[in-house]
Amino acid sequence: MESVDVAFGHRLWWVDAFVGDTERGNPAVVVLLEHPLADHAMQAMAAELGVSETAFVRRVGDQWSLRWFTPTVEVDLCGHATLATLHVVLAELEAPGGELYFATRSGTLSGRRLREGLLAIDLPRSYLEPLDPAVLGDAVGEVAEAFQAGASTVLAVVEDYDALCALSVDPMALFLAPATIVIAACPGGPGADVSIRVFAPRLGIAEDPVTGSALCAVAPWWMERVGAPTVTVRQVSARGGVMHARLFERTVEVAGLARTFFHGEVRP
């Protein structure tokens, strides 16, 4: 019996984040690390799993260490995978309610339960600077106005919901844009204040299904546009997603629903 391997691997959960009545949300795989894992091993695992983001979470003292990997690179911030991780810690690991804290490359992020099953995470808000739409070329079609939202993100405002849905984006053209992430947005949309699409080919993601971190830029833009600190956002993708945000001085509280699709064990 000494030769029988009874060691467990790392537990994982496939979670759909920012789901709605008909929206399937954005899948993230949350891997609970029983012990530290080398960076190259996490990257290889994320590539094998193949979803837009894999979150690696590990308990460290009174908080959780959290890192995010696309199939090709580690990223500094991911909203939907953070919401998925919060769901796993609360619903699957049955951690006590209240405020939870995650140590990340973007600082300490917090999360909590809200009403009616909603979960909320606090993400760092972006500060917008006007940008000449011409720098985007034809990457996202005709743009009414554009904003730089930090070093890595551009928010491009298109005319209306029909124009947003009709966008035909060339991922190669987006490599010439001054951003890693390009958010195309418009006012309105079915059951929403704002509708968006998000493209990140430099991260190995041609178009993201649902992007919680996009609200770090969308919420300040909406506040400047209409003076409202709250906004409901629909992401127009094949899977679709619904997000809610409240803008604060330094953060954006991003809220949505999440559900576990399956769970299992991975042996790296």
pLDDT in tens, the chain (268 residues): 344 333 456 899 999 999 999 999 999 999 999 888 999 999 999 999 999 999 999 998 888 999 999 999 999 999 999 999 999 999 999 988 789 999 999 999 999 999 989 999 999 999 999 999 988 888 888 899 999 998 889 999 999 999 999 998 877 788 888 889 999 999 999 999 999 999 998 888 889 999 999 999 999 999 999 999 999 999 999 999 999 999 999 999 999 999 999 999 887 5
Bridge partner list, 13: 30, 263
Amino acid at 228: A
Confidence at residue 3, expressed as pLDDT on a 0 to 100 scale = 40
The sign of the CA dihedral 200, 204, 208, 210 is negative
Determine the topology of domain 10-123+255-266 in CATH.
Answer: Diaminopimelate Epimerase; Chain A, domain 1 (3.10.310)
Nearest to 63, CA basis, from 109, 100, 95: 100
CATH 3.10.310.10: which residues of the chain?
10-123+255-266, 128-250
Pairing of strands 241-247, 74-75: unpaired
pTM more than 0.85: yes
Residues 223-251 as b or e (16 or more Cβ within 10 Å = b):
beeeeeeebebbbbbebbbbbbbbbeeeb
Confidence at residue 199, expressed as pLDDT on a 0 to 100 scale = 94
Confidence at residue 264, expressed as pLDDT on a 0 to 100 scale = 94
Phi, psi at 73, each rounded to 5°: -145, 160
Token pair, residue 157, equals: 């405002």
Task: Compute the distance between CA of residue 64 and CA of residue 56 in angstroms, rounded to an integer.
Answer: 10
Task: Compute the distance between CA of residue 82 and CA of residue 87 in angstroms, rounded to an integer.
Answer: 9
Nearest to 183, CA basis, from 151, 146, 220: 146
Task: Compute the distance between CA of residue 145 and CA of residue 84 in angstroms, rounded to an integer.
Answer: 32
Alpha helices in the chain (DSSP H): 39-49, 79-87, 161-166, 171-174, 215-226
Token pair, residue 72, equals: 């090709």
- Within 8 A by CB and 6+ apart from 134, the residues are none
Task: Compute the distance between CA of residue 9 and CA of residue 7 in angstroms, rounded to an integer.
Answer: 7
Q: Tokens 């979150």, residue? A: 55
Judge contact between 70 and 51, C-beta under 8 A.
Answer: no
Nearest to 56, CA basis, from 92, 96, 88: 88
Task: Compute the distance between CA of residue 40 and CA of residue 47 in angstroms, rounded to an integer.
Answer: 10
Confidence at residue 198, expressed as pLDDT on a 0 to 100 scale = 96
Bridge partner list, 17: 26, 258
The residues that are catalytic are: 53
Q: Which CATH number fits domain 128-250: 3.40.50.620, 3.10.310.10, 3.30.70.890, 3.30.530.20?
A: 3.10.310.10
